[in-house]
Chains A and B, each alone.
Chain A
Amino acid sequence: MRAAEATHHAADVHGHPQGPITWPKDPFMDRASALKVGMWIFLLSDAFSFSGLLLTYGMLRAASSVWQQPGEPAFGINFTAGLTFLLICSSVTMVMAVAACRAGKRAKTLTFLGLTILGGCLFLCGQFHEYFGIGTHGLVAEGLKFGASHRATTFYVITSFHGFHVFSGVLILSIMFVKTALGKYDNGNHDALEATGLFWHFVDLVWILVFTFVYLIPEPGVLP
């Protein structure tokens, strides 16, 4: 059991670990914690879910001589590029939050975590605006109907599955924000925050690919 061998730098009166935990050196994983390795395995499985969706999308699109059906709206590339930039910014603030936690700076960690959560929330607002329109018509009202075409269905399935990941990420980040504010990570044990960061960066990474494949590649399919 690696966990049993993990070295606690200090323990409080109840025997709970207080300081950063140093994992015993593993020949394959070095000092990566079980939580981190577990998060990587989860991200792999999640990546395969997205791969399946993107592969289906690619095949359907490559086999279509007309992809955008008559009456369907085009996607707002500039607006979505803004959303992409937003996620990239929130990835930077996330990585800064982990660095601040490692340095034992609680206030700085909270600031960067708060900015990351803000970025995620703004992204979700942006996606809501894209679908339903805030003060204007969204894609739904403009005639992109789920189930009406391969383009509409793959678009909604892929982007909403990703949006669900952003939503989950915001929830997890909010929990981490509260735990950080309560001083749970003041001892410099940034392991849980780093695992949260891995999930958040993964969500950013997937969006980078979705932005290219779903939004940027112009009509119709793959062939010239």
Chain B
Amino acid sequence: MSTATSTRSYMIVFGILTVLTVAEVGVVKVPAIGRALLISALVLMALAKAGLVLMTYMHLGHETRSLKLMVILPFVLPALYAFVLIAEASWRLLP
């Protein structure tokens, strides 16, 4: 990838990250937004931002499939674990 194209893609990603940050702050201030919708939107936007940084700025998108899997696969089980434990913890608050 030439320097000019990579600089352009870095700036595009910078723009997307900025827009998503503004959107995150904005969505919290939307009155009467459903809680499930709000939390899903926030988590999705954060994961999108993290993924963009990982793939473009950390150049993981240009690495081999083995290196990509080495970085991403170890988080599948902890993510599942987090989902189950947080769901279980909040379950106790149900009336």
A residues touching B (Cβ–Cβ < 8 Å)?
28-30, 32, 37, 40, 43-44, 47-48, 51, 54-55, 58-60, 62-63, 65, 77-78, 81, 84-85, 88-89, 91-92, 94-96, 99, 102-103, 194, 197-198, 201-202, 204-205, 208-209, 211-213, 216-218, 221-224
Separation in Å of the B32 CB from the closest CB of chain A? 12
Say which residue of B18, B36, B67 sits within 8 Å of A32 (CB atoms): B67
A81 CA / B28 CA spacing, docked (Å) = 12
22 contacts between A and B (CB under 8 A): A28-B64, A32-B64, A40-B71, A44-B70, A47-B75, A48-B78, A55-B81, A58-B82, A59-B85, A59-B89, A62-B90, A63-B92, A78-B25, A81-B22, A88-B14, A92-B14, A92-B57, A202-B58, A208-B46, A208-B50, A213-B46, A217-B38
Q: How would you classify the secondary structure of chain A's contact residues: helix, strand, loop or mixed?
A: helix
Count of chain A to chain B residue pairs whose CB atoms are closer than 8 Å in the complex? 136
Contact B53 A62 (CB under 8 A): no
Separation in Å of the B65 CB from the closest CB of chain A? 9
B residues touching A (Cβ–Cβ < 8 Å)?
3, 6-7, 10-11, 14, 17-18, 21-22, 24-25, 28, 34-36, 38-39, 42-43, 45-46, 49-50, 53-54, 56-59, 63-64, 66-67, 70-71, 74-75, 78, 81-82, 85-87, 89-90, 92-94
Contact A221 B90 (CB under 8 A): yes
The 4 closest A-B pairs by CB, nearest first: A212-B46, A28-B66, A62-B90, A62-B89
Q: How would you classify the secondary structure of chain B's contact residues: helix, strand, loop or mixed?
A: helix
